[in-house]
Amino acid sequence: MILNKNKVLGLAALALLFSMNACKPKNAGSVVSGDAAAQTYVAPGKYDEYYNFVSGGFNGQVSVYGLPSGRLLKLIPVFSVFPENGYGYSEETKPMLNTSHGMIPWDDQHHLDLSQTNGEIDGRWLFANANNTPRVARIDLKTFHTNEIIELPNSAGNHSSPFITENTEYVIAGTRFSVPPDDKNGDVPINSYKKNFKGTISFISVDKTSGNMDIAFQLQCPAVNFDLSHSGKGVSSGWFFFSCYNTEQANTLLEVNASKRDKDFIMAVNWKKAAELIKAGKGRKQAVKYASNRYNEKTQTATSTIKTQVTVLDVKDFPGLVYFIPCPKSPHGCDVDPSGEYIVGSGKLAALVPVFSFSKIQKAIASKAFAGTYDGIPVIKYEAALYGEVKKPGLGPLHTEFDDKGNAYTTMFVSSEIVKWSLKDLKVLDRHPVYYSPGHLMIPGGDTRKPTGKYLVAYNKITKDRFLPTGPELAQSAQLFDISGDKMKLLLDYPTIGEPHYGQAVKASVIRDQSVKFFKIEDNKNPYVSMGEGATKVVREGKKVHVYMTAIRSHLTPDNIEGIKVGDEVYFHVTNIEQDWDVPHGFAIKGAKTAELLILPGETATLKWLPEQAGMYPFYCTDFCSALHQEMSGYARVSPA
């Protein structure tokens, strides 16, 4: 890396603009009044009104909160191993984290989208992206289990993902880093970017009944960075919109290279047309390698399959498929209003928020109001697509959501505030400081056809001086606002887990009553299930020792195991034969280099153990499950080989 003096100065200026503490709100100490407490108080024994799913960022998980209380309900392990319940450690769940690079125990999780029917949240599934090793996960909202993870070839930095179409026809994922396609030699000079690198958008189909995902097709695009996206809806049904930065196609993203253009792009994709072209056989087959991992709730076992082909459409070969719309400057958020008519681009280095009109875009296409082409793709004239600009909204606009009254709310990262503005006349109506530097915000249903208008949550990057200090590392935070009146009202601060990027929320009633309380033991098709204590056994197959074990209050059966030798591979297949809600049992054994198991009623989970030294190894239940929990233990004897 070679820096000249101008580049260093340019970088310093950018760093200053984005320095997290540059703009601390003036009334940083503001206190909310007593009725805010009443509005967020959920009495003991009462349920919250909303489920709120929040991305975990660099912890790779998804957390579930209740709103308006801000109470943490659960952490759903998705892309990272979770020693607390053995996710990624148990034999049943290990395949979920398989990729074409082998097993990966971590990722960076940014965005969530709830499945929709007719543009409304239907409460079936939650989709989550992994940024680092590109993947999309599907979480089943009956069990809150990660049921599927699919890897994305031709991608790197799966950031513009996973945003879904109105009827969950597709989960859509745009690559943040353009890379040489997987079937080309990727071992090329980095500065051959313009020649060898490509941007890719994946269309992942979702089976209407099972939810099973597969890559339906991919669009090969110019080498820009896709940052965020949202589906068209209503009038813009069948279209998808992506924010693109680094339209300079610079191979070093130092500010002088990647942010020198005054405008980058929103890319509009006619996905219905793309699907028709694929159906008509216009795609080309490309050799790739990607993992498709599914967890089967019946066999309670995950399997991983490596797939070897995708169908690709080169967008430049199909006129009418995609268009670029200039958007100032390094756009981040790309949000579509409930009617589908307005597309909001948030240029994080711009001092305005451009709002594009879908009907004007259609007219511009029909009348060829183009300002040239970009890598063979028509660029619509800015003015021809523009509905208007929100002037002086604040500094560092990032993300926008919508309420049910025609208002939009945009986060201002640099000036640390939420700005409410009217979609009709683009006038700023209200602004409220947040503490500090908000990334995304979320209104329940705020990216769907039917937003609610009661709450808004800001997800902030900086919390210093808001909570008790905990050393150099502080939790990031969420702030709950009441948006039912003309002015936003701050109700509650609460810490989050990992880095919250995006969130989703839905009325609790949509999900609550479908929740599985326990698994029926007679439905358990795990090949290593023990249907009762009488079915437990220890079976040796060469070096493998299978311990079929049951757990029920308050014993593990068998609890004395002899005959294990150093060098054996021991598999503890533990079945929790309880048939009641909320009675998990745990399983851990001394010296195990994996994790514990947490086994839910009716479930079987397997811990693999490789004893390396002769000796006596106690094992026990880790979850205080009854008055005799401490008695729920046993011994495994290991003899020399």
Q: Is 632 in the site for ligand CUA (CB under 6 A)?
A: yes
Listed ranges 236-244, 291-299, 506-514, 625-633: which one lies at the site for ligand CUA (CB under 6 A): 625-633
Residues 6 or more apart whose CB falls under 8 angstroms from that of 514 comprise 123, 141, 142
Residues of this chain, 400-459, that bind ligand CUK according to CB under 6 A: 439-440
| Residue 398 contact partner, candidates ligand CUK, ligand CUA, none, CB within 5 to 8 A by sort of partner | ligand CUK
Tell me the residue type at 509.
S
Q: Is 467 in the site for ligand CUA (CB under 6 A)?
A: no
Q: How far apart are CA 277 and CA 118, in angstroms?
A: 24
Residue from 267, 621, 636, 638 touching ligand CUA (CB under 6 A): that is: 621
Q: How far apart are CA 337 and CA 346, in angstroms?
A: 14
Are the C-beta atoms of 441 and 431 separated by less than 8 Å? no
Q: Is 580 in the site for ligand CUA (CB under 6 A)?
A: no
Q: Is 623 in the site for ligand CUA (CB under 6 A)?
A: yes
Q: Is 585 in the site for ligand CUA (CB under 6 A)?
A: yes
SS3 504: strand
Q: Looking up tokens 């006596």, which residue turns up?
A: 616
Q: Cβ 460 to ligand CUK, closest distance in Å?
A: 10
Q: Cβ 57 to ligand CUK, closest distance in Å?
A: 7
DSSP state for residue 73 in the 8-state scheme:
E
Q: Is 631 in the site for ligand CUA (CB under 6 A)?
A: no
Q: How far apart are CA 39 and CA 32, in angstroms?
A: 11
338 vs 601, beta carbon nearer ligand CUA: 601
Tell me the DSSP string of 386-411. EEEEEES--SSEEEEEE-TTSEEEEE
Which of 107, 126, 106 is closest to 116 using CA atoms?
126
Are the C-beta atoms of 260 and 248 separated by less than 8 Å? yes
Burial (CB < 10 A; 0-12, 13-18, 19+), residue 522, is: exposed
Q: Cβ 12 to ligand CUK, closest distance in Å?
A: 23
Residues of this chain, 91-110, that bind ligand CUK according to CB under 6 A: 110
Which of 515, 511, 514 is closest to 115 using CA atoms?
511
116 vs 411, beta carbon nearer ligand CUK: 411
Q: Is 549 in the site for ligand CUA (CB under 6 A)?
A: no
Q: Is 572 in the site for ligand CUA (CB under 6 A)?
A: no
Residues of this chain, 351-410, that bind ligand CUK according to CB under 6 A: 398-399
361-400 mask for ligand CUA (x: CB under 6 A)? ----------------------------------------
Listed ranges 286-294, 338-346, 463-471, 622-630: which one lies at the site for ligand CUA (CB under 6 A): 622-630
Q: Is 624 in the site for ligand CUA (CB under 6 A)?
A: yes
| Residue 321 contact partner, candidates ligand CUA, ligand CUK, none, CB within 5 to 8 A by sort of partner | none
CA–CA–CA angle 167, 265, 191 (5° rounding)? 115
Q: How far apart are CA 92 and CA 574, in angstroms?
A: 11
Q: Looking up tokens 């353009």, which residue turns up?
A: 178
Listed ranges 25-33, 175-183, 347-355, 617-625: which one lies at the site for ligand CUA (CB under 6 A): 617-625
Are the C-beta atoms of 200 and 183 separated by less than 8 Å? no
- Cα end-to-end span (Å), the chain: 55
Are the C-beta atoms of 64 and 52 separated by less than 8 Å? yes
Closest residue to ligand CUK using C-beta atoms = 439
For ligand CUK (CB under 6 A), the number of binding residues is: 11
**Which positions touch ligand CUA (CB under 6 A)?**
551, 585, 621, 623-625, 629, 632
- Residues within the interface to ligand CUK (CB under 6 A): 110-111, 159, 228, 332, 398-399, 439-440, 501-502
